[in-house]
Structure 1
């Protein structure tokens, strides 16, 4: 386990004092002793409490502020300071932890990173909020020793999206589920003058969302779980070269998306990709998920959106959508207001307001049981698909974002032409061994 972030560069350490002054200090600026320390009963409204919350999800700023304001009605004595940063979030978080200024609440990826930050995270295993999580989500929030150390920001859905109208215009009556069917669909779209793919290959993180579908197929072909396969990559016991779903199918798919995609793929970021897709410039959108639906509908309210698994092989049954939770909030176990912070999230995950917050305010897939789905196309289609098909494994959770970022950079180099396929695969394997594990 990474016990301390001692590997930070000297130049980074120079900014710690500045960052610490910006907030997130465990002392919260004033006397904020917990109920245990003061002897007050749980819920004592006389004790003023300030909780500092540091997240990396700017798309949910309004939704977070909504539940903060609602909780003020429940606990007028509790003030929650929300700080959101996207660029350089991980670097700033690590610097604050290294400086002893760990926020009361902070955000990390789930899966492997649950262990990375275990030393700083409160154990939530026996809390009502843990019991409220769906089984799959609770697994995503749990450490290797079975402790629930995270809170899901939301449930998620990873798919390839498609424009129903454009596929119909090209005479495609069923979504492609195999590599051969995808090749046929591409040909039909091209014949109608329709660009098949909208990509966002400027972003490093879209690559992990695509690759996990092929990792799942490789694991199935090897008769092991995706978690076991990723563990073998990290241990250096196998490589992409050993798995046709990755060595051949994944790279062939990427080659197709570049050849038959929107121009200048390394210059297209997430916003540009959404715009390309929503305005009908491409039929399929890669590397994304449920969080994009509202942005698409804002651009084109009448957009006919469909979701599908990636065609990863010649086996239709391996084309699966993937569900689960990949982002976690963590409660600083050493915070002076840890008790009040846990109480706040127990309220959010178990109250009627909280159950409805996910679907009606944040408009995301709820990560908890007995909560309604949002009134959006993608969650509704997900529900229907999962009636007859299983969900794929959220295999991005079995390695760390330090690896995923390097992986994305190597794939960018591949499509940019500065690395061959063999070079990219060799360096991906080295990165998996170097960055893949929290241990």
Structure 2
């Protein structure tokens, strides 16, 4: 059952001409400036590695320097830990002052429960600076409930040397060619794919993309509305994924592997122990922080087309990250969003390769060759689908992750996967 709460009282009044709390009244004729009310902003984000983690910490210090009455308390959490802690936090009827969001169904539920602030008026000066695509996931019924900090797409990041060793001369453009490449890699003694099976969300990328390629974007949208994923095309998506899993393409122990740890998915690719991973635009940064890094040997290609499918290879799957503001956060929380949305700071994020352009006019800051490929694919995208575990209500998204994880290890059939997702959707 969704938990609805009453929106918190209005935030502190702004100082005349600036963004702090209201002045304390001074005696007549006093020349001493009024002390501003002390404010603590709780900032929760998921950038667990440098350079992003360090740059965010620097931005917080810079904001504190410009706003002496404000203390920014940062909580950094890994993806799944963040989701779990946010669920506990919001169940209590509260949200952090500023927190990571992927938009979609989760943000909608938070908005409907009165947990997040409508930024349409308060952030009006900066909203037009963001691209339409970047803002899409954070707008609900014409109102803005978050601002974007990153956008991108999921695709295959691969080791060019290992592909060459296996005789794979070019990135596969079709699913059958992809399966052939996996077989060639195995025959050459190379682990084809690294997967963080423990965390589940990386595995759902495969089923989601296959559903897009086989059924098409319109079918996914219709299924979300009708709450019925039992159609033959969705079963076929699972069948294709089972065919991949049957080749045993993943690293040994993948079921217990995390994503960003020294022995996890990103490190396996970064250290040359696996040929590729299906991951978002942040992959190069995480690979570097968790392993040796591939440098110029790192390549990128979009998820292949499925022969006979209704979806196009130019349809992209992914999203980005943004920040929402808790409903009872002080006014300084919105000022903080404006501060970190300055184009110069966004360029700093882009040039340090932990964000892709969401602010108009910053596209030229992308210099990394691999990330330029992501930008090119996004620019030419014929359609876009937000991550399913964010596009759908939380329970449905979790069921997608759980059921696909079971499919990959042989615990569920393709038919059982779509049945479980449908039953969960209808119970919402």
1:233-274 CA distance string (max 9 Å, x none): xx23x4253446524323333434xx2222233122213222
For 1:414, the equivalent position in structure 2 comes to 407
- TM-fit CA distance, 1:415: 3.4
- TM-fit CA distance, 1:142: 1.0
For 1:139, the equivalent position in structure 2 comes to 136
Q: 1:194 aligns with which of 190, 196, 208?
A: 190
Partner secondary structure for residue 143 of structure 2 = coil
For 1:363, the equivalent position in structure 2 comes to 354
Structure 2 CA distance, aligned partners of 1:361 and 1:182? 31
Whether 2:8 is the aligned partner of 1:4: answer no
162 and 361 in structure 1: CA distance in 2 versus 1, 3 angstrom threshold: closer
Partner secondary structure for residue 198 of structure 1 = coil
- Structure 1: 5+ residue stretches without partners: 6-25
Alpha-carbon RMSD across the aligned residues, in angstroms, is 3.2
Structure 2 CA distance, aligned partners of 1:308 and 1:167? 13
- TM-fit CA distance, 1:364: 1.7
Larger displacement relative to structure 2 (407-416 or 64-73): 407-416
Partner secondary structure for residue 346 of structure 1 = helix
Q: What's the TM-score, normalizing by structure 1?
A: 0.79
Whether 2:74 is the aligned partner of 1:82: answer yes
Q: What is the correspondence of 1:396-435 to structure 2 with a 5 Å cutoff?
A: 396=388, 397-434=390-427
Partner secondary structure for residue 139 of structure 2 = coil
For 2:302, the equivalent position in structure 1 comes to 309
1:124-157 CA distance string (max 9 Å, x none): 22422322222112111111x1211012242233
Whether 2:320 is the aligned partner of 1:329: answer no
For 2:253, the equivalent position in structure 1 comes to 264
For 2:44, the equivalent position in structure 1 comes to 55
Given that 2:234 and 2:418 are in contact with CA atoms closer than 8 Å, whether structure 1 keeps it comes out as no
Q: 1:181 aligns with which of 155, 170, 177?
A: 177
Partner secondary structure for residue 407 of structure 2 = helix
388 and 142 in structure 1: CA distance in 2 versus 1, 3 angstrom threshold: closer
Given that 1:129 and 1:345 are in contact with CA atoms closer than 8 Å, whether structure 2 keeps it comes out as no
240 and 181 in structure 1: CA distance in 2 versus 1, 3 angstrom threshold: same
- Structure 2: 5+ residue stretches without partners: 21-33
Given that 1:152 and 1:325 are in contact with CA atoms closer than 8 Å, whether structure 2 keeps it comes out as no
Instruction: Indicate the structure with greater helix content.
Output: 1
For 1:161, the equivalent position in structure 2 comes to 157
Structure 1 CA distance, aligned partners of 2:361 and 2:294? 30
- TM-fit CA distance, 1:100: 4.8
Q: 1:383 aligns with which of 338, 361, 375?
A: 375
Q: What's the TM-score, normalizing by structure 2?
A: 0.81
Given that 1:152 and 1:327 are in contact with CA atoms closer than 8 Å, whether structure 2 keeps it comes out as yes
- TM-fit CA distance, 1:58: 4.3
71 and 374 in structure 1: CA distance in 2 versus 1, 3 angstrom threshold: farther
Q: 1:152 aligns with which of 135, 141, 148?
A: 148
Whether 2:110 is the aligned partner of 1:117: answer yes
Q: How many residues align?
A: 398
Structure 1 CA distance, aligned partners of 2:411 and 2:420? 13
- TM-fit CA distance, 1:219: 4.1
1:17-64 CA distance string (max 9 Å, x none): xxxxxxxxx89xxxx97234xx64434584244242242414243232
Partner secondary structure for residue 310 of structure 1 = coil
66 and 225 in structure 1: CA distance in 2 versus 1, 3 angstrom threshold: farther
Q: 2:333 aligns with which of 331, 338, 341?
A: 341
Larger displacement relative to structure 2 (201-210 or 376-385): 376-385
Structure 1 CA distance, aligned partners of 2:153 and 2:85? 28
Structure 1 CA distance, aligned partners of 2:379 and 2:77? 38
Q: What is the correspondence of 1:234-273 to structure 2 with a 5 Å cutoff?
A: 235-236=227-228, 238-243=229-234, 245-256=236-247, 259-270=248-259, 271=261, 272-273=264-265
Q: What is the correspondence of 1:289-300 to structure 2 with a 5 Å cutoff?
A: 289-298=280-289, 299-300=291-292
Given that 1:137 and 1:367 are in contact with CA atoms closer than 8 Å, whether structure 2 keeps it comes out as yes
- TM-fit CA distance, 1:413: 2.7
Whether 2:18 is the aligned partner of 1:42: answer yes
Structure 2 CA distance, aligned partners of 1:154 and 1:291? 10
Whether 2:226 is the aligned partner of 1:227: answer no
380 and 321 in structure 1: CA distance in 2 versus 1, 3 angstrom threshold: farther
Q: 2:312 aligns with which of 312, 318, 340?
A: 318
355 and 187 in structure 1: CA distance in 2 versus 1, 3 angstrom threshold: closer
113 and 391 in structure 1: CA distance in 2 versus 1, 3 angstrom threshold: same
- TM-fit CA distance, 1:366: 3.0
Structure 2 CA distance, aligned partners of 1:62 and 1:199? 27
- TM-fit CA distance, 1:225: 6.0
1:186-220 CA distance string (max 9 Å, x none): 23323322222222212121123222212322442
Structure 2 CA distance, aligned partners of 1:252 and 1:151? 40
